[in-house]
Amino acid sequence: MSRKEVIVLVSRAFAACQLATALLEISYLPERLFSMHHHASLVSVLSVSAADGYWRTYDQIDILSLIARILGLLTLTVVFWRCGSWVERVVFSDQAARHFE
């Protein structure tokens, strides 16, 4: 197996792991959206408490951070699936390449 084939294999395996993690994170999105909808529907004009604002803000931050994680994982998936020269430098440094040969 050549060095390039090993790099592509490792890179694609890492991309597959990132994709699986992104899909797992996506599965949490409906729960978080439902929670935000639930807390938003409890807010009344007559009873605006600090707790209502807290949970609404908490849910918004939670959903935004979840979406950021999903986008980051999908970005890593694409980068490592394409296996460019940057990935080759990350996976195999010059020192590691000497031990491989």
- Kindly give, in sequence order, each residue whose CB lies less than 8 Å from that of residue 80, ignoring residues fewer than 6 positions away: 11, 12, 14, 15, 18, 87
What pLDDT does residue 4 have? 80
Reply yes or no on whether the pLDDT at 10 is more than 80: yes
Q: How confident is the model at residue 47 (pLDDT cuts 50, 70, 90)?
A: low
Write the CA distances from 13 to 6, 19, 50, 52, 96, integer angstroms: 11, 10, 47, 44, 19
